[in-house]
């Protein structure tokens, strides 16, 4: 522990974000750089408490409490306080292959279970993580490290999101020859085409992929397993296969008027936007534009927030976000104590930008869409909604119920459906004969990852359902360990 009185001397402080009214005019990241002085003070706030819950990664009450990749947080907080950045970077890479991704996009369950958080705002763990790795790249400390010896074993990884990349990185480190298949034209999964550029700059994603390539991993893009290559061919040509195809089936809203023009699944909107941005800075026009339109985003989660931020950057006229749940409390509820993930009201970046521009948080809580209504050309023009309340019915079931007399009509020329995901697509799994669980995910036990098909493993959202980048990295790393054990009879991978 660097400074035993640090948590009493220094207040929690994050580097200022770019002003919301400025940043909505560009696609660059909204986070700014912290000074080393600030970071040392923030690192000094870590109490090095006896039992650091921040790195446990336990599931409590259905949510992660502590870091799912078990980052050695108190250790690198201390190293940062003492100015030993290179050692801090080495500690960070011991548990996390891609801290530059989690340091930008993770919801930081570690901070929700930080012991300082019991009486004061928690240590700025996520920002410290980001700064350590950004400094590592700036100083040139992060270089390709190909394995000294190759085992002669070949592994195919399907899907290049964070789970596929972490899995490939670990298997390559163990000396196996890894080929990653990706159906999109760029590598990265939702790091590339889900999370928008202002939250995670795509150059940051490409920088890591270049390193992995130089370490010997082969990436094949534009190739869908199960369509362009029969899944069975992977079994014939490789010693093992790891399925990291994500949970890409978006939840639709099959109500009256769904067929109208201008209603899109959120992922279509976000994917096309980033592709067009990267291909031509939007000059090709190959994206769904929100410019000059009233936008309604149905769904209050991360995906919905990204649709809000993207619409604002297009120059929409207004943006409203519907949420069926009630507004969360300002502070922890009695049934959500520390060290659980805090379910509290938060203004995420997209809502912060909308508030700065229009004066209020764009979210409308406890609302459900009954039908879409179109104009004479078949374009959506309005949404009809009803207010909801959550209560227990006569049979003891808790759920949302319509409140009579709360019907409303909302003008909208563009609607995004961001209501979550239903699980993985089934073509590849069916071709391989991989069993699915009751939620239609690839069935494989957490910690073991092997499916019912010998030599075929599954990890990330494809196995656990739509989740978080940090869980995908955790599963990719662990699936690599189990795959290595399967190939070699033993393993040294963590």
- Pick one of 106, 171, 243, 428: the residue that binds ligand SF4 (CB under 6 A): 106
CA dihedral of 301, 209, 491, 94, whole degrees rounded to 10 = -70
- Which of residues 106 and 417 has its CB atom nearest to ligand SF4 in the complex? 106
Q: Is 478 in the site for ligand SF4 (CB under 6 A)?
A: no
Which residue, 77 or 177, is less far from ligand SF4 as judged by CB? 77
In the complex, least distance from residue 487 CB atom to ligand FAD, rounded to whole angstroms: 21
Of 85 and 486, the one with the shorter C-beta distance to ligand SF4 is 85
Window 91-120: residues binding ligand FAD (CB under 6 A): 105-106
Is residue 129 within the footprint of ligand SF4 (CB under 6 A)?
yes
Interface residue with ligand FAD among 111, 294, 302, 382 (CB under 6 A) is 302
Is 114 a binding residue for ligand SF4 by CB under 6 A? The answer is no
List binders of ligand FAD among 255-274 (CB under 6 A).
Answer: 270
From 69, 212, 265, 290, residue interacting with ligand SF4 (rule: CB under 6 A): 69
Judged by beta carbon distances under 5 to 8 A according to partner kind, the member of ligand FAD, ligand SF4, none in contact with residue 450 is none
> Which residues 6+ apart lie within 8 Å of 429 measured at CB?
243, 436, 442
Q: Which of 303, 368, 385, 441 binds ligand FAD (CB under 6 A)?
A: 303
C-alpha to C-alpha distance for 300 and 297, rounded to whole angstroms: 8
What is the rounded distance in angstroms from the CA atom of residue 344 to the CA atom of residue 348?
12
243 binds ligand SF4 (CB under 6 A): no
Binding status of residue 109 toward ligand SF4 by CB under 6 A: yes
80 versus 108: smaller Cβ distance to ligand SF4:
108
Token pair listed for 180: 């990653």
Task: Give yes or no for residue 56 binding ligand SF4 (CB under 6 A).
Answer: no
Residue 288 interacting partner from ligand FAD, ligand SF4, none (CB closer than 5 to 8 Å by kind): none
List the interface residues with ligand FAD, window 206-225 (CB under 6 A). Answer: 224-225
Among 155, 354, 412, 472, which residue sits at the site for ligand FAD (rule: CB under 6 A)? Answer: 472
Binding stretches for ligand FAD (CB under 6 A) = 105-106, 158-164, 181-184, 189-190, 194-195, 224-226, 244-246, 248, 270, 302-303, 306, 428, 460-462, 466-470, 472
């Amino acid at each position: 522990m660097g400074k035993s009185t640090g948590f009493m001397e220094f207040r929690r402080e994050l580097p200022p974000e770019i002003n919301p009214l400025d940043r909505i005019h560009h696609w660059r990241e909204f986070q700014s750089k912290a000074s080393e002085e600030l970071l040392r003070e923030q690192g000094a706030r870590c109490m090095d408490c006896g039992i650091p819950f921040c790195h446990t990664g336990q599931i409590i009450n259905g949510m992660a409490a502590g870091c799912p990749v078990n980052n050695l947080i108190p250790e690198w907080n201390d190293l940062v306080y003492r100015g030993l950045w290179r050692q801090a970077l080495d500690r960070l890479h011991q548990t996390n292959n891609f801290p530059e991704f989690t340091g930008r996009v993770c919801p930081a369950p570690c901070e929700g279970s930080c012991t300082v958080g019991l009486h004061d705002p928690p240590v700025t763990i996520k920002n410290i993580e980001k700064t350590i790795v950004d400094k590592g790249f700036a100083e040139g400390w992060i270089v390709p490290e190909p394995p000294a010896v190759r085992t002669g074993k070949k592994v195919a990884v399907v899907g290049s999101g964070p789970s596929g990349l972490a899995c490939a990185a670990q298997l390559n480190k163990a000396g196996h020859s890894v080929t990653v298949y990706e159906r999109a034209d760029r590598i990265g999964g939702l790091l590339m085409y889900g999370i928008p550029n202002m939250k995670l700059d795509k150059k940051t994603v490409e920088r890591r992929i270049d390193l992995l390539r130089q370490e010997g991993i082969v990436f094949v893009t534009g190739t869908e397993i199960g369509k362009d290559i029969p899944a069975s061919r992977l079994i014939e040509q490789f010693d093992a296969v790891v399925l990291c195809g994500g949970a890409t089936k978006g939840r639709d809203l099959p109500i009256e008027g769904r067929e109208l023009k201008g209603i899109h699944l959120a992922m279509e909107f976000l994917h096309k936007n980033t592709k067009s941005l990267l291909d031509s800075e939007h000059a090709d026009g190959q994206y769904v534009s929100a410019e000059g339109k009233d936008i309604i985003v149905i769904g209050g989660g991360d995906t919905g927030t990204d649709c809000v931020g993207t619409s604002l950057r297009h120059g929409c006229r207004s943006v409203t976000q519907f949420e069926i749940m009630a507004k969360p409390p300002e502070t922890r509820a009695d049934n959500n104590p520390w060290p659980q993930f805090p379910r509290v009201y938060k203004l995420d970046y997209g809502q912060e930008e909308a508030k700065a521009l229009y004066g209020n948080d764009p979210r409308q809580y406890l609302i459900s869409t009954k039908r879409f209504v179109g104009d004479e050309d078949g374009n959506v023009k309005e949404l009809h909604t009803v207010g909801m309340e959550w209560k227990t019915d006569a049979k003891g079931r808790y759920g949302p119920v319509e409140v009579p007399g709360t019907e409303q009509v909302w003008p909208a020329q563009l609607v995004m459906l961001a209501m979550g995901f239903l699980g993985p697509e089934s073509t590849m799994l069916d071709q391989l004969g991989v069993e699915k669980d009751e939620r239609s995910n690839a069935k494989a036990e957490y910690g073991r990852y092997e499916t019912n098909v010998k030599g075929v493993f599954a990890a990330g959202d494809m196995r656990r359902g739509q989740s978080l980048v940090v869980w995908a990295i955790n599963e990719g790393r662990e699936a690599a360990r189990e795959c290595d054990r399967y190939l070699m009879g033993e393993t040294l991978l963590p």
